[in-house]
A and B are shown apart, each in its own frame.
Chain A
Amino acid sequence: MTNARKSTKTPSITEKPITGSKVLCDTLLDEGVDTVFGYPGGVVLPIFDELYDSPINFIIPRHEQGGTHMADGYARASGKVGVVLVTSGPGACNTVTGIATAFMDSIPMVIITGQVKTHLIGNDAFQEADTTGITKPITKHNYIVKDPKDLGRTIREAFHLARTGRPGPVLIDLPVDVTTALCQMAPKGEFLLPGYKVRTEGHMRQIVKAAEAINAAQRPVIYSGGGVLISEASAELTELVEKSNVPITTTLLGLGAFDENKDLSLEMLGMHGTAYANFAIQECDLLVAIGSRFDDRITGDVKRFAPNAKIIHIDIDPSSISKNVKVDIPVVGDAKKILVELNKLIEFRERKEWLARIAELKEKFPLTYDNEGEGIKPQYVIEEIWRQTKGQALVTTGVGQHQMWAAQFYKFSKPRHFISSGGLGTMGFGVPACMGAQIACPDATVINIDGDSSFSMSLLEIPTAVEHNLPVKICVLNNGYMGMVRQWQELFYGHRYSKSYMKQPCFAKVAEAFGAVGITVSKKSEVADAVKRMLAEDKCCVVDFQVEREENVWPMVATGKGLHEMAGLPTNTSERV
C-alpha cells in the first residue's frame, strides 16, 4: 500500500483499501467496459460475488470458447476491448481457441482467468492449469498476479496493451487469494512498461518517398488489410484511393475499408480473390500494402508474388515488414496518421492505360456463378441477402466455402461490417461472434452466414441469443459437407471424400427447441421469401438453406501456384484446375 504514485488526476480513486475483486470490477468500469462475457467457477466466486452488485452487463455463454468469440465479435464490431472472465483450469483452457483466434487477427481483448491460491500453484491443485504457460504464444502479453500490490496496475496495463499499437488479447491470471486480499485501484495511465514502445507517427522521409513512388507509378495497386479497420482509417484510405486514382484490393479482414461498389475497387485478393485483383497484383509496378501482412493465403507462391512491383508497406508492427516479402519502402506507424500525411502529397493521375486494363480484366473475368439450374446456389442466397439488406448488414461467418462466398458476393461498403476469423480460420466462430456484434451494435442487422459443420460447432450458443433477446439471423448454407474440405478432396485427392461428411439434424427444429425461430428452405423459389421473413423476425432466427451440395469456390489459387495461375476462371471453366 506504499506505492508512491506519480499520476494525480483520478479523483474517483479511493485510497481506502478494498478487495482485489472490487478493484477488478471498479477498474473494468473505469476502463469503459459495459459488457463482460464469462462463466463462473470455484476460484472466481469472489469476483462473481462482487459482480452481483455491479452495473456491468454480464453474458454467460454455454461454453467458454463461445464467450471468448463473443467478446471477439463485440470487439471487432465496436473497436472496443472485449472482456472475458472465466474460472481456472477447464474454464481457462476452454478459452484457448478464442484467444488464438483473436491473436491472429489482432483483436483487442482482456481475458481474466481465475487461478488456484498462490501457495498451491505448481502442486497440481484441483482445477489448476499453467494458464500463462499455455497462452504465452497466443497473447500479446500475459500476467499472473501473485502480489496484490500489482493488481491495480496490471489491469490498467492489460487494457493499454490490448488496445494500443498492434492490438491483441492480453490475459491476466488471478489467484483466488489475490482477489480476496486488500489492495488498491491504480490510477489511469499507471504503467510499468519500459519495454513497450509504440511508434504511431510515420517517418516523414519514408512518407515522402512513398508519395513520390505513388505519383510516379504507371500501374499501381493498393492492397489493404485489417490494420486499416483497426486504425479507423477508412475515410483516409478512401481519400488516398480517390485522390491518387489507384485501384484497391483488400484482404478478407480488410473488406469494407473501401466501398466495394465503387469502380476503383477490385474487391478481395488472394486464394479465392477476384481474378481482376489477382491479375492486377501480378501486373502492377507498385504495390501499396497498408495494414496487411502478406499472409500465404494472399500471396500464393510468394517468390512469384507481384514480380514487377516495387513495394510500399505501411504497418504499425515493425516485425510485419519484410517478414514474408521484401519491402522497398517501409513506413512504420499508425495507418490513419500516416495516410493523413501521405494524402497531402498525393497528386491525381489519369492512369488511362492502367485503368483501361483493369476494366478489361473486370469485363473478361467477372466474379460469377451459374445460377441456371434447379438447385439453390449458395452464392445466390448471399446475393439475395445482400440485395434485401441493401448491403448494410453486419455479416459474420464460420470457416469454409460459405465464408469465401460471403466475402465474394456480399459487397461491403462500410468498415467493421464483415467479421470473420481470418488468420486462424476457426470454425464455430460465426454464431458467438454475431452475438457479440449484436450486443455491440444493438440496432444493426446482424447476419451470420454459416456452414453446416461450422454451425454445428457452436449452435449450443443459440439459447444465449434467445435468453438475451438478440435478434441475430443465422443463415446456414447447408451443403451437408465440410464443403471446403470436400472441395480440396475433389480437386487434389481424386474425389475421395474421406470423412468430410456428417449427418446433420434438422437445424430448424433444433432452433425451435432452443426457443429461436427455425426455417428450412429447400427450393430456389423460396429463398427470397425466407430471407424476407428472416429479416422481419425480431428474435434469433435460424434459416437452413439446403444448397447444392458440390458447388465449388472459384476462382482458386492452389497452394504453390502464383496468383495469376487461377483455376475456375469464367473463360476456362471446362478445364478447371
Chain B
Amino acid sequence: MKHTISALVQNQAGVLSHVAGMFSARGYNIDSLVVGRTDDPRFSRMTIVVVGDNDVLEQVRKQLAKIVPVVKIFDYTNEKLVQRDLMLIKVASTPEQRPEIMAMVEMFSAKVVDIGLKFVTIEVTGPEEKIEAFIEICRPYGIKDVARTGMLALPRHAKA
C-alpha cells in the first residue's frame, strides 16, 4: 500500500542524503520523494510516497523523526489530500497529428509548452492517475521523453 508522508526539514547540507540513505539502509521502498523550499527559507518540505504496510509506515515515521534536522512529520494516510504531480512529456507528432493532440491537451487541461517539427512538449499537472492516463493516450504516437516531479501533497483542510 502507498502512504504519503510529508516532512518539514531544516534547510541544510546533507538532509536529503540523510533521509534517502535512511530509506535505503532500512530497506524501505520509496515511490517518490520531492524536496523544495517552503515560504520560510530555513525549511524545506519533503513529500515522500512510501510503499508498505502500516507497521512499515509506523517505523518510517519514527525513523524519520530520529533524523536530527527533520523538524516535523505529517502522515497523510487517512486524510483527504490535494495531490499534484507535474509532468513534461515530449510526444512524437507530425504537423497533421497536431489537431488530435491539441484535443487531448484540451481534455486534460494540459498545456503545450514547446512545438518542433517532429515533437510537441506538453505540461500536465494533476493527481497521479491523471498523469498516468495521459501517458497512456500518448503512447500510440510515440513518447520521446518524460520528466515528472513526483507527488506533492497537502491536506485539504487545515486541522484545527
Contacts and interface: CB of A to CB of B under 8 A. Distances in A.
Interface string B51-64: 00001001100110
B17 A133 contact: yes
Given A318-B62, A319-B65, A195 B72 contact: yes
B9 interface: yes
A313 interface: no
A4 interface: no
A577 B133 CA distance: 59
A195 B17 contact: no
Contacts of B58: 322
A6 B9 CA distance: 23
Nearest to B60: A319
A137 interface: yes
A132 B68 contact: no
B59 A323 contact: yes
B26 to A, nearest CB: 10
A83 interface: no
Given A137-B25, A319-B59, A144 B68 contact: no
A502 interface: no
B67 A195 contact: yes
Given A132-B14, A136-B18, A144-B13, A319 B71 contact: no
A195 B21 contact: no
Interface string A130-149: 00110011001110101000
Given A136-B21, A194-B10, A322 B55 contact: yes
B10 A319 contact: no
A195 B10 contact: yes
B159 to A, nearest CB: 19
A193 B68 contact: yes
A525 B62 CA distance: 56
A135 to B, nearest CB: 11
B66 interface: yes
Contacts of A161: 68
A146 B14 CA distance: 13
B66 A319 contact: yes
A562 B48 CA distance: 38
A196 B69 CA distance: 7
Interface in B110-146: none
Nearest to B66: A319
A434 B68 CA distance: 32
Contact of A319 (B9, B18, B21, B62): B62
Contact of B9 (A142, A192, A195): A195
Nearest to A132: B14
B70 interface: yes
B54 to A, nearest CB: 11
The 4 tightest CB contacts between A and B, nearest first, are A319-B62, A195-B71, A141-B68, A194-B71
6 contacts: A140-B68, A144-B14, A194-B71, A195-B10, A195-B68, A319-B63
